[in-house]
Amino acid sequence: MPGDGSLERLRREGRIVVVGASLAGLRAAEALRAKGFEGSLTMIGDEPHEPYDRPPLSKQVLLGRAAADRTALPRLRPVDATWRLGVPASGLDMAARRVRLADGDEVPYDRLLIATGVRARPWPHEAEAELDGVFVLRTRDDSAALARRLDAGPKRVLVIGAGFTGSEIASACRERGLPVTVAERGSAPLVGALGGVVGSVAAELQREHGVDLRCGVMVTALEGDTSGRVRAAHLSDGSTVEADVVIVSLGATRNTEWLAGSGLGAGPRGIACDAGCRAFDIRGIVTDDIYAAGDVARSPHALFGYQFLSLEHWGNAVSQARIAAHNMLSESTDRLPHMEVPAFWSAQFGVNIKSVGAPSLGTEILISQGSLQERRFVGVYGYQGRVIGAVAFDHARWLPFYRELIETTASFPPPFDNVDRRPGGQRPIDADFPDPSVPTHGPTVTLSGYSPADRRMTFTPAH
Amino acid sequence: MVRLAVDLNRCQGYAQCAFLAPDVFAMHGDEALLYAPEADESQRARLAQAAAACPVQAVLVDAVDVPADVPDEAVSGAR
Amino acid sequence: MTQSLLHQILDHANRANPYPLYEELRKTPVHHVDGGPYVVSTYYEIRSLLHDPRISSDVRNLASTARDPLAGPAQEESALPPSFLRLDPPEHDRLRRMTNRPFGPPHSPRRIDGMRGELHDIVSGLIDDIGDPDRIDLVDQFSYPFPVTVICRLLGVPREDEARFHTWADTLAASLDPDPDADPAERGKGANEARMQLGMYLAGLIEERRKNPGDDMLSRLATAQGEDGAMTTMELLSTAALLLIAGHETTVNLITNGMLTLLRHPDVLQRLREDPGFAVPLVEELLRFEPPVQLVPQRTTLADIEVRGVTIPKGASLWLVLASGNRDPQRFEDPDRFDPDRRDIQHLGLGSGIHSCFGAPLARLEAQFALSELARRLENPRLLEDPPPYRQNAVLRGPRHLPISCDGIRP
């Protein structure tokens, strides 16, 4: 109750438990301490490592420029926590306010933050997935094992799935001079996140850098030799690729199984929470003591008609962590909504790819600056007459402008002239996203629910 | 060792860090940045220059010398 | 008002402290007086416009009606094509990329880092040679010769030719300064004349470097074979002229403004003396507090643009007052306080967006070395005149002389 001192007590001697000791969990813990939380803080993580940064795992580490065990996140301030690392949470008792751990222990809380993130989706055929040489890439240990194998100089690497991670892996392999085949179910790399128009540029990039790119095919089976090492993959077009390293890069699965039966609104699509990161229970009623942040959370976004968005983005984890921490320690009237415009980056084949907004929700694209042929451009995505996203290839410095267009729900196509508008950028074309009914692993922004209704809504970001 | 991370959402490829601390930061192409997430102690002064010079303040360097609250090999059940 | 705010800002009488005028200016974030430029003075608006692709740096996009005396001289009849500073993408991007090739990462990642020892030696030599500590002109004896020596070495321009290009550089720097009272045609002619002379001088040097290439930037630019190919001779001349002039005019002011500010804040000077590493945050705060480029007067709009409720028409002359944005209380707490401990410091001192200062890393290192060494070696330094005499230029603002004295020079 506001003003009854309970918040003050929470601040002074409360117990906050954070499940998930990665980026969102750490930044939330730091924010709690920065906001004066003096009670006990427990960090629970299934991996035995202190919080580390994941983006380098598919880039610097595979290039051999950094060791996989050397990507621990910098500490912005002391968190003075009890760390329970190497043991996953296995259950939640909402009524008793306790988190159960896999080792049988139970940890009581007054406030709980769930930031359990996602894990790599494994190869669906279990026996094939266990062949030696078959990898996924999500964790530090995955990256270390893969980097070691790449060091050994495999004869050919097969990457299954050309989303961002798969493409980055292919890029690193090529830079190391390794022969690479990429098999992608869609029509082009990155097609789920950025559509076919931009995907075709990504495809050219890959081929130009010597990737044997096969699109519109599925890998139907992995084949091992007698010693249990992978030796080949069979493709849906009848072809076979001989490869001694196979990296399965088919997207991610949300880590919510441990919440099954808890009564929390958690499922395969994540944990539903409000714009202030408070989790919903299965009845659709918002809880007041359980929060979610990062990849595992899905929450309504003001810019997209309050539809629920799941964002597997680094920046989203950081900003939700801050919001959740703030709101845990605030009266209801002082709570803040999470409304950062989604933003994403990927570096591959020497090109810096950045996006703002939600390109995958767009239907049309207009190349407003530069050209696809030169691979230096800005593409603006439109949806029902408004700007909903933008992507830049080596054009990052312009993106703040497009973010403002998205924030102000500017009209699409942009009605103005600007520098470096080429003949090919005079009118929008179909962005060429795959049929949404066909599952893809690509998009990093996914959305459910109704369409943005109020097209002239003004969105004012907090500076 | 000094830990660092770059908020690449903020990064706009001004490359100030790569100019000022080339053993830690490198440009990959015109705009993409690669960095060593752990830098040698001898790089600390250059890192301070790189972080200060970043026009979008995207370089995050350890503010805490050694995170004393995490044991080297944190194990399950540690309290 | 007898004099418009803009005239007051340009008036040399107000050069020593334009900040109260900027404060006045910020009351109208988009300031426009009939026939004059649209002047933007608040932080967020300036930053947005620096990243706005509807803004052009190419003077050819300026509507002829906007070419008032304040808009600066036209350059289309110049003997040299515009440098990348005055071009839009894709030409800007291509030329800047090519110029960067021998200068910075990814192709030359250690060029600037490798100059640290040299920078230190030049600074030491100049301080050694100061002579009479009772009356030092910091500008003539230090702030000017230091960056000039550096840019000459970097480019491969003989230092002894300095006397020759000094006059041309002065004229060109002055041409950036909007002067309400001068005849624009006359000024344009003077600037073009200087550009041509400088161009001819550089052409001779480049010819020489092509025959006997060294590791200097001119040699590397003249013999470049990158993905973008080679620059044309005319592009090369424009670029070389830009680097030579921009490579020192601004840094002179950064260092002089820095020493002036330190002498006005003895506690900060003392901290710098004790901790040379303090120069790092100090220079960033300096770039906010006393930026060497006060305003960008050469942008124009490619479309009607609404800023804070004002429609700036297509083809208008647009001024972005960086130094005012840096003092905007909406962005910086207690903005008129010089505070090197400020944590939140995304200043506009070196611009932002695609035209952000090309030489920024070098300028930073030069200022850091210069100020920390001056602080360490000058014993009890003090200002002899405050404010010191300023140069005419309102854009590249800084003292013409900085008379100081000290008790002696430490080894």
Sites in chain B below the pLDDT cut of 50: 68, 71-79
Mean pLDDT value of segment A303-327: 92
Contact partners, residue C125, CB within 8 Å, separation at least 6: none
How confident is the prediction for chain C on average, in pLDDT? 92
Task: Looking at the complex, report in whole angstroms how far the Cα of residue B48 sits from the nearest Cα belonging to chain A.
Answer: 14
Kindly state the percentage of chain C with pLDDT values over 90: 80
What is the model's pLDDT at position C78?
Answer: 56
Using the beta-carbon criterion (under 8 Å), do A80 and B69 form an inter-chain contact?
Answer: yes
- Residue C159 sits at φ, ψ, to 5 deg, of -60, -30
pLDDT tens readout for residues C169-202: 888 888 877 776 667 677 778 888 888 899 999 9
Q: Which residue has the higher pLDDT, C3 or A387?
A: A387
DSSP letter at A411 equals B
No. of H helices and E strands in chain B?
2, 5
The answer to whether A393 faces chain C, any CB pair under 8 Å, is no
Topology at the third CATH level for domain A6-56+72-119+253-330: FAD/NAD(P)-binding domain (3.50.50)
Name the CATH superfamily housing domain A343-448. Answer: FAD/NAD-linked reductase, C-terminal dimerisation domain (3.30.390.30)
Q: Which of C98, C278, C346 to mutate to test the interface with B (most CBs of B within 10 A)?
A: C346
Contact partners, residue A71, CB within 8 Å, separation at least 6: A52, A53, A54, A56, A57, A60, A61, A140, B37, B38
Q: Which of B2, B9, B16 to mutate to test the interface with A (most CBs of A within 10 A)?
A: B9
What is the model's pLDDT at position A379?
Answer: 98
Mean pLDDT value of segment C48-65: 92
B25, part of any domain: yes
> What's the CATH code of the domain at B26?
3.30.70.20
Calculate the alpha carbon distances from B59 to A61, A209, C124 in Å.
Answer: 19, 30, 32
- State the helix-helix crossing angle for C145-155 and C116-128, rounded to 10 degrees: 140
Calculate the alpha carbon distances from C320 to A252, C37, C40 in Å.
Answer: 46, 10, 5
Amino acid identity at A47 = E
What residue segments make up the domains of chain A, in order of their start?
6-56+72-119+253-330, 126-251, 343-448
The Cα–Cα gap between A25 and A419 comes to 42
User: In the complex, which subunits touch C with 3 or more CB pairs below 8 angstroms?
Assistant: A, B
Please check the confidence at residue A457 and state whether its pLDDT lies above 50. Answer: no
The answer to whether A423 faces chain C, any CB pair under 8 Å, is no
The answer to whether B61 faces chain C, any CB pair under 8 Å, is no
Residue of C nearest to A376 (CA): C90
pLDDT confidence band for A352 (50 / 70 / 90) = very high
Residue of B nearest to A58 (CA): B34
Instruction: Determine the structural domain holding residue B50 and report its residue range.
Output: 2-60
Please check the confidence at residue A192 and state whether its pLDDT lies above 60. Answer: yes
ipTM summary value: 0.94
Sole residue written with tokens 């944005």: C325
B7, part of any domain: yes
Which residues in chain A touch residue C96, judged by CB atoms under 8 angstroms apart?
Answer: none
User: In total, how many domains does chain B have?
Assistant: 1
Kindly state the percentage of chain C with pLDDT values over 70: 94
The answer to whether A64 faces chain B, any CB pair under 8 Å, is no
The Cα–Cα gap between A270 and A256 comes to 7
Q: Which of B49, B56, B59 to mutate to test the interface with C (most CBs of C within 10 A)?
A: B49
pLDDT tens readout for residues A37-88: 999 999 999 999 999 999 999 999 999 999 999 999 999 999 999 999 999 9
The answer to whether domain A6-56+72-119+253-330 and domain A126-251 are alike in fold is yes
B26, part of any domain: yes
Q: Taking the model in full, what pTM does it have?
A: 0.93
The answer to whether C93 faces chain A, any CB pair under 8 Å, is yes
B66, part of any domain: no
Which residues in chain C touch residue B15, judged by CB atoms under 8 angstroms apart?
Answer: 104-105, 361
The answer to whether A374 faces chain C, any CB pair under 8 Å, is yes
Side-chain-side CA neighbours of C241 within 13 Å: the count stands at 33
What is the model's pLDDT at position A451?
Answer: 30
- Residue A72 sits at φ, ψ, to 5 deg, of -60, 140
pLDDT tens readout for residues A238-266: 999 999 999 999 999 999 999 999 999 99
Which residues in chain B touch residue C368, judged by CB atoms under 8 angstroms apart?
Answer: 49
Lowest-confidence region among A77-86, A301-310, C35-44, C84-93: A301-310
Which residues in chain A touch residue C354, judged by CB atoms under 8 angstroms apart?
Answer: 397-398
Contact partners, residue A266, CB within 8 Å, separation at least 6: A256, A259, A260, A272, A279
Instruction: Determine the structural domain holding residue C83 and report its residue range.
Output: 5-409
Three-state DSSP class for residue A426: coil
How confident is the prediction for chain A on average, in pLDDT? 92
Give CA angle at C386 (C384, C388), nearest 5°.
Answer: 85
Mean pLDDT value of segment A23-46: 97
What is the model's pLDDT at position C73?
Answer: 47
pLDDT confidence band for C257 (50 / 70 / 90) = very high
Q: Which CATH class is domain A126-251?
A: alpha beta
What is the model's pLDDT at position A437?
Answer: 56
Using the beta-carbon criterion (under 8 Å), do A420 and C303 form an inter-chain contact?
Answer: no
User: In total, how many domains does chain C have?
Assistant: 1
> What's the CATH code of the domain at C271?
1.10.630.10
Calculate the alpha carbon distances from C162 to C126, C200, C245 in Å.
Answer: 16, 15, 11
What is the model's pLDDT at position A369?
Answer: 98
pLDDT confidence band for A448 (50 / 70 / 90) = very low
What is the model's pLDDT at position C72?
Answer: 46
The Cα–Cα gap between A73 and A56 comes to 11
pLDDT tens readout for residues A412-430: 999 999 999 999 899 999 9
Mean pLDDT value of segment C244-258: 93
Out of A2-16, B56-70, C76-90, C352-366, the most confident range is C352-366
Which residues in chain C touch residue A463, judged by CB atoms under 8 angstroms apart?
Answer: 44
Q: How many CB atoms lie within 10 A of CB B77?
A: 12
